[in-house]
Amino acid sequence: MSTAPILSSVPVDAAVPRHVAIIMDGNGRWAKARHLPRVAGHKAGVEAVRRVTRAARAMGVEALTLYAFSSENWRRPEDEVGALMGLLRLFIRSDLAELVEENVRLRVIGDYRRFAPDLVALVDDAMAKTAHNSGPILVIALNYGSQAELVAATRRLAARAAAGEIDAAAITADDIEAELDTAALPPLDLVIRSSGEQRLSNFLLWQAAYAELLFVDTLWPDFTADTLAEAIAAFGQRQRRYGGL
């Protein structure tokens, strides 16, 4: 696996967010503009994942969460879903050694166990092999939907309250956060969406309550280390008041 050096323009002087999440959008439009099949856009998108994950590590981002497959993506054509699953298999098999070598912890959020058994086993093995790494965290959202995540967390808290383990009237925001898929991750600082669309699409709705949102026109396959550096520089110019003055 080639590990080309990150461009010299990547380091930025602005404050670096601890946790960045990216809605990777635009693969299909990238392919259409080039008169290519949609799967070609997804393949190019995987290369963008490699570039951006390496750049994020170089810039000191502690956690990078990538929206790879939403719970709504099952509505896409069966052959496209199959191609996405194949690319996920390829990414894990080809990049796992680099994640281990770079001390990256891999974490998956979402109901990925709905996938084929061999893919589930591959994901479980990858997480197990990086579990003791102490460096940056790469989070992949697979079959993830924020509303479903919140419903599941609410049900678990309700069950505990019904069993007398906790007082329902005393449930706090911290209790809810502890039940989310993202528990123990750094607070979400920055959400980036590529391709010019300006919505969260059921992604990290609770976690994004005070995150900075940045929508860029760049299609995901064209997203580079420099694009990420520009986004982080823009983040560094924001004033985060959290409701205060």
CA neighbor of 228 nearest in space, from 55, 14, 67: 55
Which one is catalytic: 73, 133, 222, 226? 73
Q: How far apart are CA 96 and CA 131, in angstroms?
A: 12
One-letter amino acid of 228: L
Q: How far apart are CA 123 and CA 121, in angstroms?
A: 5
The reply to whether 25 belongs to the active site is yes
Instruction: Locate all alpha helices (DSSP H) within 60-190, ordered by sequence.
Output: 78-101, 117-130, 146-162, 173-179
End-to-end CA distance of the chain: give it in Å, rounded.
49
Q: How many CB atoms lie within 10 A of CB 125?
A: 12
Whether residue 3 has pLDDT greater than 70: no
Please give the pLDDT value at position 22.
98
One-letter amino acid of 98: E
Q: In this prediction, what percent of the chain has a pLDDT beyond 70? A: 93
Q: Are 232 and 16 in contact (CB under 8 A)?
A: yes
CATH class name, domain 19-147+187-236: alpha beta
Q: Name the DSSP class of 135.
A: S
Q: In this prediction, what percent of the chain has a pLDDT beyond 90? A: 91
Q: Are 203 and 225 in contact (CB under 8 A)?
A: no
The tens digit of pLDDT for each residue in 163-208 reads 999 999 999 999 999 999 999 999 999 999 999 999 999 999 999 9
Q: Name the DSSP class of 65.
A: E
Whether residue 224 has pLDDT greater than 60: yes
Whether residue 222 has pLDDT greater than 70: yes
The residue whose two tokens read 């770079």 is: 102
Q: What are 138's two structure tokens?
A: 């790469």
1 confidence band (pLDDT: 50, 70, 90): very low
Q: What are 181's two structure tokens?
A: 């898929």
Mean per-residue pLDDT over the chain, rounded: 93
Please give the pLDDT value at position 240.
79
Q: Are 65 and 22 in contact (CB under 8 A)?
A: yes
The reply to whether 175 belongs to the active site is no
Which one is catalytic: 25, 95, 181, 189? 25
CA distances from 203 to 3, 66, 67, 222 (A): 30, 10, 8, 22
- The model carries a pTM of 0.92
Segment 32-45 shows an average pLDDT of 96
Annotated binding site for substrate: 26-30, 38, 42, 70-72, 74, 76, 193, 199-201
Q: What are phi and psi of 128, to 5 degrees?
A: -65, -40
**214, β-bridge pairs:** 192
Q: Are 51 and 223 in contact (CB under 8 A)?
A: yes
